[in-house]
Chains A and B, each alone.
Chain A
Amino acid sequence: MPKYVVATVDEIPPGHRKVVEIARRSIGVFNVKGSFYAIRNKCPHAGGPMCEGVTSGLVRSDQPGVYDYVMRGEIIRCPWHGWEFEIATGQSWFDPAKTKVRAYPTSVEPGEILAKNPELQAAGYQPGPYAGETYEVEVDRDYVIINL
């Protein structure tokens, strides 16, 4: 599962988003209450740029005139026709059986680990005693990763 570094954490504060292009897909990365989520920027209904819509909540009701407002900030509404999707899962809430938008796993990793290429260590390699000449790079921040 390829990983893509798409933003620094402080680039997307809570309630904000960043739309990125990865592997020829447009994907929206959202910070919802401190957690990062990524969903395809394409509404399954008519292909609208869903991640450009407003984030909002769901209004539920068991009885006319009674409003139960839940999941505030956790729902995206496509700007074209207003269809609602849960940002965390891509799940739709008007037609759950039929409609869903693609959601991608995300993670946040410190730059230091990214620079050390953790996959090599995970594969059992140990760093050798000899090293080539290196230059200082900025690795002191956390980065948002999308696993495509």
Chain B
Amino acid sequence: MTTQQIERFARPEQWSGHPLIDTDVHINLPGLKTLFPYLAERWQDYITESGMGGLPSNLYPPNAPNMFLPGSKPEQGPPGSSLELLQAQLLDPWDLTYALVNCTYAVDSVHNDDLAAALARALNEWQLHEFLERDPRLRGAAVLPLQNPGFAAREVEWASQHSQFVQVTVPSRSREPLGRRAFWPIYEAAQRAGLVVGIQAGGLSGNPLTPVGWPTYFVEDYVDVPLAFQAQLLSLVTEGVFVQFPDLKMVTIEGGFTWLPALLWRFDKDWKGLRREVPWVDRPPSEIVRDHIRMTIAPLDHPDTPEFMLQVIDQLLCDEMLMFSTDYPQAHFDDPADALPHGLSDALLTKIMSGNALATYRLP
């Protein structure tokens, strides 16, 4: 296979000299049968005999224009399915110290808990052997069978035994809010192992994408993404997840962050009068969010007045939250310099480029 660099897609010169960690890189499964070497014969035959063609994704229509970087699709398989392209197009030209990979294969759409657990394990083994073990710059996020939190917790324990995994991921669009106690075995296992819980945009919950029902257009889907993240943050804090698991870190992946200051203003204000309902939330919710939530920055919002972006970052009142990401192979920026907000202080720039990720993940 010939590999190529994507034109103009590389680390901008002005960021040279600093370590750079990409906290959201996507790898994609070429096809369901790719997992057969990692699946028990029972499940191989089950898939073949039942005619399962692959798991659906509601993230992006497969041929939506401008979704993927031009040239990021290998000759065979979807963009993100080739390690060689990933190395040639992202790891090398961006001179990444680490890249944290995510795989958004829709294991959560399977209604059979046993099959979901088998698929999650197969995906994670595939990821480990075919990506993570083949490039020391890569670190993984284990996919969890969220439909059965007990099975999911077992998968967290399995992942924790491989130092290449630094994160486990759950979808932002879960079947019920992620703070609920039924999910706590996952958080307990993650805290014990020092693994971060990543909340990845997407998921096939069966619930409408928005609180007002199904949107019509893809642009609505895309802009609606933060709604699920907002609901999840409210749930995680009010249910007391971070009281129960004080060392747990969670990362919102592809969820944006410009909406956060306003959400926290409202959350703090209403907590003052309603805190007796959730007495374990014994300090302002904004403090809890700042202590426990980290956010990947892609896709980055681009206000017409660039200073507005810096004001929002100031309003976060925390330098520890934001982490650099490209979301490769998705196309989020025409100019690589737009991968980070312009006008950041050097100290904050360094934290976003690598410092915050180093403080969050179990990286050497």
Binding site for B on A (CB under 8 A): 45, 56, 58-68, 78, 81-84, 94-95
Q: Which residues of B contact A64 (CB under 8 A)?
A: 181, 239-241, 243-244, 280
The tally of residues in B whose CB lies under 8 Å from a CB in A reads 16
Report whether B275 and A61 are in contact in the complex, using a CB–CB cutoff of 8 Å.
no
Report whether B279 and A83 are in contact in the complex, using a CB–CB cutoff of 8 Å.
no
Known: A61-B282, A64-B181, A64-B280. A94 touches B239 (CB 8 A): no
| B272 interface residue per 8 A CB criterion | yes
| B273 interface residue per 8 A CB criterion | yes
| B42 interface residue per 8 A CB criterion | no
| B359 interface residue per 8 A CB criterion | no
Binding site for A on B (CB under 8 A): 181, 239-241, 243-244, 271-277, 279-280, 282
Q: Which residues of B contact A63 (CB under 8 A)?
A: 240, 243-244, 280
Cα separation A45 to B282 with both chains bound (whole Å): 19
Report whether A59 and B274 are in contact in the complex, using a CB–CB cutoff of 8 Å.
no
Report whether B272 and A94 are in contact in the complex, using a CB–CB cutoff of 8 Å.
yes
Mind listing 22 A-B residue pairs with CB under 8 Å? A56-B276, A58-B279, A59-B276, A59-B277, A61-B282, A63-B243, A64-B181, A64-B243, A64-B244, A65-B181, A65-B240, A65-B280, A67-B279, A68-B279, A78-B273, A82-B272, A82-B276, A83-B272, A84-B276, A94-B271, A94-B275, A95-B272
Q: Which residues of B contact A59 (CB under 8 A)?
A: 276-277, 279
Leading 5 A-B pairs by shortest Cβ distance = A64-B240, A82-B273, A61-B279, A61-B280, A81-B273
* Residue of B whose beta carbon sits closest to that of A64: B240
Find B273's partner among A61, A66, A68, A83 (CB 8 Å cutoff).
A83
Cα separation A58 to B139 with both chains bound (whole Å): 47
Known: A63-B240, A64-B240, A64-B243. A81 touches B272 (CB 8 A): yes
Cα separation A63 to B242 with both chains bound (whole Å): 10
Cα separation A59 to B243 with both chains bound (whole Å): 16
Cα separation A57 to B185 with both chains bound (whole Å): 33
Cα separation A136 to B243 with both chains bound (whole Å): 66
Cα separation A94 to B23 with both chains bound (whole Å): 37
Cα separation A120 to B37 with both chains bound (whole Å): 101
A59 CB, nearest partner CB in chain B, Å:
4
B188 CB, nearest partner CB in chain A, Å:
13
Cα separation A65 to B243 with both chains bound (whole Å): 11
Cα separation A83 to B163 with both chains bound (whole Å): 48
Cα separation A95 to B284 with both chains bound (whole Å): 9
Q: Which of B239, B241, B274, B276 gathers most chain A CB within 10 Å?
A: B276
* Residue of A whose beta carbon sits closest to that of B270: A81
Find A82's partner among B240, B274, B279 (CB 8 Å cutoff).
B274
* Residue of A whose beta carbon sits closest to that of B269: A81
Cα separation A128 to B243 with both chains bound (whole Å): 71
Cα separation A61 to B240 with both chains bound (whole Å): 10
A124 CB, nearest partner CB in chain B, Å:
52
Q: Which residues of B contact A65 (CB under 8 A)?
A: 181, 240, 280
Q: Which of B239, B240, B272 gathers most chain A CB within 10 Å?
A: B272
Cα separation A45 to B270 with both chains bound (whole Å): 13
Q: Which residues of B contact A56 (CB under 8 A)?
A: 276
Cα separation A62 to B281 with both chains bound (whole Å): 9
Q: Which residues of A contact B240 (CB under 8 A)?
A: 61, 63-65
A62 CB, nearest partner CB in chain B, Å:
7
Q: Which residues of A contact B275 (CB under 8 A)?
A: 94
Q: Which residues of A contact B282 (CB under 8 A)?
A: 61
B235 CB, nearest partner CB in chain A, Å:
12
Q: Which residues of A contact B276 (CB under 8 A)?
A: 56, 58-59, 82, 84
* Residue of A whose beta carbon sits closest to that of B283: A94
Q: Which residues of B contact A68 (CB under 8 A)?
A: 279
Q: Which residues of B contact A81 (CB under 8 A)?
A: 272-273
B116 CB, nearest partner CB in chain A, Å:
27
Q: Which residues of B contact A66 (CB under 8 A)?
A: 280
Cα separation A56 to B279 with both chains bound (whole Å): 14
Q: Which of A58, A61, A63, A65 gathers most chain B CB within 10 Å?
A: A61
Q: Which residues of A contact B274 (CB under 8 A)?
A: 82
Cα separation A65 to B239 with both chains bound (whole Å): 9
Cα separation A60 to B277 with both chains bound (whole Å): 10
